Structure 1
Amino acid sequence: NYGQKSVEMDGSIMEGGGQILRVTAALSCINGASIRIHKIRAGRSTPGLRPQHLSGLELVRDICCGNLEGGTVGSTEVTLTPGKIKAGKHTADPQTAGSVGLLLQVSLPCALYADGPSELCLKGGTNADMAPQIDYTIKVFKPIVEKFGVHFDCDLRMRGYYPKGGGEVVAKVNPVSELSPVTMTERGTITKIYGRSFVAGVLPYKLAKDMATTATRVIRREIKDLYINIQTLQEKDMACGSGNGIIIIAESSTGCIFAGSALGKKGVYADKVGFEAAEMLLRNIRHNGCVDEFLQDQLILFMALANGTSRIRTGPVTQHTQTAIHVAEQLTQAKFTVTKAEDENASNDTYIIECQGVGVTNPHF
């Protein structure tokens, strides 16, 4: 555990929210170093742990047979004392529409260092605001993180929407002996654009059509020569509650994957939802990076743990990414550098994030 016995982390710095908790808890679990996080979500309108954050911390505690102090909703200070990471079945259920994708974000890295395969049963919101939709996790995050040598299956059993939740995803994770570094510096050309526009519950199918039509029209203005295939769906049996949303994915000739997504809200026209998702996708293609703004920060932890140097070309470096780098450098010996990309394909906003990973090895292999 790099000679660290107990570490303090200020939960109010930088991004100052759930992300600090997730990166810190996962690294504490993997390092076997006890961690105290204080001032949790101090600047938020409802400070302290929300049910989904608590659920994530409890999940990590269970995976590493650890001890969690201060683990109550509203708590602004917790101490996680990890034990040995163990394989098997682990369940997390915040009993809200808290994001299933974020529960996976905190638990997946831990399960990689277990003594055998793990099954993570994650409940809550699968398509929730302010968090990666489960479609993003499966279609964008999964294939890219697998480049590090990660192998997991994601079985989407039930979709759940705000405010009810009720969604369920089962992730089966294989352990690794160590992670390999990844280089993604060539963007290539966009070769494929596809997506899914959905309504669930009581909402009319027309909304799905309207979101898809607007999104397609917006993308066509900029990318004229590609067939854009956005499926429209009405979810009946597979959904708990009502919701609507869209995710559009672009793939490049070099295997880069980008996405834009949006969820409907009460009183927001469907075409506005489609427009928002399309604009988000285009924004993430324009900067000529190899990952979109939402994948950036999710890869930092894996870069830090990998054995060797990773280099990833990105657009503007987000605050979430800066926060993840800060936490990773505090809790491991990984070294990150962020430099402006200077090649002929670079825009003003193209960067290279480089990391000398520490090569954490799984003691069970």
Structure 2
Amino acid sequence: MAAVVIDGALLEGGGQILRMSTALSCLTKQPITINNIRANRSKPGLRPQHLSGIKLVGNLCKGKLRGDEVGSSCVSFSPGHTSKGTYEADTKTAGSICLLLQVSLPVMLFADGSIQATFKGGTNAEFAPQIDYSLMVFQPIAKRFGINFEADIIRRGYYPKGGGSIAVVCEPIKCVKPLSLTDPGHLVGISGRAFVAGVLPTRIADTMSKTATSILKKRFPNIPVNIDVVHETEQDALGNGTGIIIVAETSTGCLLGGSGLGKRGIQAEKVASDAAESLIAEIQHGGCVDEYLQDQLIIFMALAEGQSRLLCGPISLHTQTAIHIAEQLTKAKFTVTPVSGKEACFMIECQGIGLQNTALQS
């Protein structure tokens, strides 16, 4: 079969193209060639984070990679068969563990049996979902697709060393169920986690919790807000880190998140207020998912058996990119339609391909 050629500089032009393309190559049994990898970035080509992700997919499905080295601008991948078993992937940096989960989960679902995996790197990294977001927002919504996986945090790891670790167990499924998230309902509660690790004082987390709570209570005076303050021990975390994750829940089970990571020179109040204001903006858009979840669901909508519908706020460039890659490699058809009477609100619809896990008994 001739390789499908994918432009790695298209639209978002980042690691997402690599992750989705290699995962879908595995699932659809199509060889791919990705050119112009991250061509528009300040450091173009493969970075260690991306390399560890595509190598993980290659290991999962016994695929063959070419061009798999740091700095490479072109990668070719030929998929094989995804087998049950035990796997490990390590970014060897503070690169995101959550992006390892993101690239591998669709593949693990279509294995011939249960998969146990250990992912190592950064649990709370910039430009990626925090592990708390993956477990508090993504995982519950994934269950609506019929997706069941467990991810236990063994140890948290922070920039610059990483050193975090999670243990993942994923059970295979026959087919992904279609998802319909079209009713945002009304806000019923907000919960969260403000944390510090290492030598950082607990008062930083306390300040973040109080700041975010104050902003959210002012905007939603009748809604309960509970943001835990956590000081992680040396046994629980490697390195110094601080941040906050806030999750809003609605009456229809929708989950929307806002988050922030602390860094040198940025006040705790600023980190918390940015996270709170981000969450408020997501709620006000009137969608069923936030900006960071919408693009993560596209691949599962494409694979599902039947029509999926997703009510969103503004469509992000990451989501546009995800739709493009999904359509190119699966032939699923997406439509994005503005919602009448709701400013900056859109309905994403997809007729999925109904991919079947032929390795499982009927």
TM-score with structure 1 length normalisation?
0.97
Give runs of aligned pairs for residues 39-118 of structure 1, distance below 5 A: 39-118=36-115
Q: CA deviation at 1:143?
A: 0.6
Give the AA of the match of 2:301: M
Distance in 2 (CA, whole Å) between partners of 1:169 and 1:32 is 29
Partner of 1:12: 9
Structure 2 residues without counterparts, runs of 5 or longer? none
Partner of 1:225: 222
Tell me, what secondary structure is at the counterpart of 2:70?
Answer: coil
Structure 1 residues without counterparts, runs of 5 or longer? none
Q: CA deviation at 1:221?
A: 2.0
Tell me, what secondary structure is at the counterpart of 2:355?
Answer: coil
1:330-359 Cα deviation digits (max 9, x unpaired): 0012000000112xxx53111100000000
Give runs of aligned pairs for residues 280-291 of structure 1, distance below 5 A: 280-291=278-289
Identity of aligned residues (%): 52
Partner of 2:261: 263
Residue 247 of structure 1 pairs with residue 242 of structure 2: no
Distance in 1 (CA, whole Å) between partners of 2:279 and 2:313 is 12
Distance in 2 (CA, whole Å) between partners of 1:227 and 1:297 is 29
Tell me, what secondary structure is at the counterpart of 1:98?
Answer: coil
TM-score with structure 2 length normalisation?
0.98
Partner of 2:345: 350
Partner of 1:278: 276
Tell me, what secondary structure is at the counterpart of 1:266?
Answer: coil
Q: CA deviation at 1:227?
A: 1.7
Partner of 1:209: 206
Distance in 1 (CA, whole Å) between partners of 2:210 and 2:98 is 27
Q: Which runs of 4+ in 1 moved over 3 A?
A: none
Give runs of aligned pairs for residues 261-340 of structure 1, distance below 5 A: 261-340=259-338
Tell me, what secondary structure is at the counterpart of 2:162?
Answer: coil
Tell me, what secondary structure is at the counterpart of 1:156?
Answer: strand
Distance in 2 (CA, whole Å) between partners of 1:280 and 1:239 is 27
Distance in 2 (CA, whole Å) between partners of 1:316 and 1:295 is 12
1:210-233 Cα deviation digits (max 9, x unpaired): 111111111122111012100001
Distance in 2 (CA, whole Å) between partners of 1:56 and 1:252 is 33
Residue 176 of structure 1 pairs with residue 163 of structure 2: no
Q: CA RMSD in A?
A: 0.8
Partner of 1:37: 34
Partner of 1:139: 136
Distance in 2 (CA, whole Å) between partners of 1:56 and 1:143 is 23
Q: CA deviation at 1:25?
A: 0.7
Tell me, what secondary structure is at the counterpart of 1:329?
Answer: helix
- How many residue pairs align between the two structures? 359
Give the AA of the match of 1:189: H
Distance in 1 (CA, whole Å) between partners of 2:123 and 2:101 is 11
Give the AA of the match of 2:42: S
Given candidates 329, 351, 357, the residue that maps to 1:362 is 357
Given candidates 126, 148, 153, the residue that maps to 2:150 is 153
Tell me, what secondary structure is at the counterpart of 1:362?
Answer: coil
Distance in 2 (CA, whole Å) between partners of 1:45 and 1:169 is 30
Distance in 2 (CA, whole Å) between partners of 1:303 and 1:91 is 27
Q: CA deviation at 1:87?
A: 1.2
Give the AA of the match of 1:127: N
Tell me, what secondary structure is at the counterpart of 1:15?
Answer: coil
Distance in 2 (CA, whole Å) between partners of 1:341 and 1:89 is 45
1:298-337 Cα deviation digits (max 9, x unpaired): 0000000000000000000000000000000000120000
Tell me, what secondary structure is at the counterpart of 1:132?
Answer: coil
Q: CA deviation at 1:254?
A: 0.3
Distance in 1 (CA, whole Å) between partners of 2:144 and 2:85 is 24
Give the AA of the match of 1:152: F
1:100-121 Cα deviation digits (max 9, x unpaired): 0111000000000000001121
